[in-house]
């Protein structure tokens, strides 16, 4: 039976390049755990002993495999995704966290840890938070400071709040509904934030129709459609962030493939930051920019 399912998953599932952890084997193992009522992400399932299934669970497994082969994202079927080594909830209310965004998460963690040693308690805001994966991933390891997330989507914030409870940070991270910085536009935050991070929508509207159906059909468009050139929200974040950041504090941005050098120029031309540092992925493509305020 397992070989049969592996064949189906290999031939029919669109295993996306943006989710390299979802191989036919890891996908099938994750579906086994879900059928057994013990859902695990593909990454975690790959290193965990596969549970035994009774006859009822085997019927459930067959149904889950069919769902995956129909194009429904694995994370939506099992309700789990691993990010920064932390098991998190996933669902259609927000973009599924990708491994590529861990570059942003771990760099933000490194910066936040360093600032915390220098400044004591720090304030960290995650804009376009989606399921809350970046702020929750960072705060899971940081264990200190004040952490916030915001998103224009009420569905995303609902998922983020559930996620916070799931990872044990329900009383620690404050999620708010609002358009970018709208939820923080008060004296409490003006000039008082140490780190702002953002993984904004950066796909140009004209490319949305050419995207993998697994993304365009099942994930919320507002989470990936970045406007005419894919940079409209990025531009707003760059120009609005300094109002909230302390001096010598940091804005950390994920950028799309091929956008790194152009966004670096945008940041430099704003004259709002003292320097910009680019981080490359394993294939030497700029995916994260870190800008420090004056």
135-160 pLDDT per residue, tens: 999 999 997 789 999 999 999 999 99
Task: Assign domain 99-293 to a CATH class.
Answer: alpha beta
Q: In the structure, what pLDDT confidence band is assigned to residue 268 with cuts at 50, 70 and 90?
A: very high
0.85 exceeded by pTM: yes
Q: In the structure, what pLDDT confidence band is assigned to residue 200 with cuts at 50, 70 and 90?
A: confident
Average pLDDT for 265-293: 96
Average pLDDT for 171-186: 96
Q: What is the largest CA-CA distance in the chain?
A: 65
- Give the Å distances, CA to CA, from 219 to 69, 156, 166, 180: 17, 11, 21, 20
- Residue 246 and residue 216: Cα distance in Å, rounded? 38
Find out if CATH 1.10.10 is the number for domain 2-78. Answer: no
Among 163, 172, 41, 37, smallest CA distance to 98 is for 41
Give yes or no for residue 1 having a pLDDT over 70: no
Give yes or no for residue 229 having a pLDDT over 90: no
What does the domain layout of the chain look like in residue ranges?
A: 2-78, 99-293
**pLDDT score of 222:** 61
Give yes or no for residue 228 having a pLDDT over 80: no
**pLDDT score of 207:** 60
Give yes or no for residue 98 having a pLDDT over 60: yes
Give yes or no for residue 262 having a pLDDT over 80: yes
Q: In the structure, what pLDDT confidence band is assigned to residue 19 with cuts at 50, 70 and 90?
A: confident
- Residue 264 and residue 87: Cα distance in Å, rounded? 33
**pLDDT score of 241:** 98
Q: Which helix (H) or strand (E) holds 169?
A: none
**pLDDT score of 14:** 47
Give yes or no for residue 167 having a pLDDT over 90: yes
**pLDDT score of 101:** 96
């Amino acid at each position: 039976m397992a070989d049969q399912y592996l064949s189906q998953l290999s031939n029919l599932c669109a295993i996306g390049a943006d989710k390299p952890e979802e191989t036919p084997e890891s996908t099938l193992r994750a579906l086994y755990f879900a059928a057994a009522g013990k859902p695990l992400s593909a990454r975690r399932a790959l290193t965990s002993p596969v549970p035994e299934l009774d006859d009822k669970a085997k019927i459930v497994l067959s149904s889950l495999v069919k769902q995956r082969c129909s194009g429904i994202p694995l994370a939506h079927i099992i309700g789990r995704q691993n990010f920064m080594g932390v098991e998190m909830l996933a669902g259609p209310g927000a973009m599924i966290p990708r491994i590529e965004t861990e570059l942003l998460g771990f760099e933000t963690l490194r910066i936040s840890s360093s600032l915390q040693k220098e400044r004591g308690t720090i304030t960290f805001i995650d804009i376009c938070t989606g399921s809350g994966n970046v702020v929750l991933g960072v705060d899971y390891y940081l264990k200190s400071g004040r952490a916030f997330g915001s998103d224009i989507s009420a569905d995303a914030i609902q998922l983020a709040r559930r996620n916070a409870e799931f990872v044990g940070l329900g009383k620690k991270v404050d999620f708010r509904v609002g358009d970018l910085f709208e939820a923080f536009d008060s004296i409490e935050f003006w000039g008082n934030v140490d780190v702002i991070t953002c993984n904004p929508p950066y796909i140009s509207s004209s490319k949305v129709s050419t995207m993998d159906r697994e993304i365009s059909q099942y994930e919320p468009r507002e989470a990936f459609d970045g406007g005419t050139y894919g940079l409209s929200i990025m531009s707003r974040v760059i120009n609005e962030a300094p109002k909230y950041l302390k001096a010598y504090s940091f804005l950390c941005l994920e950028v799309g493939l091929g956008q790194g050098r152009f966004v670096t120029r945008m940041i430099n031309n704003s004259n709002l930051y003292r320097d910009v540092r680019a981080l490359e992925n394993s294939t030497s493509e700029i995916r994260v920019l870190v800008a420090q305020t004056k």
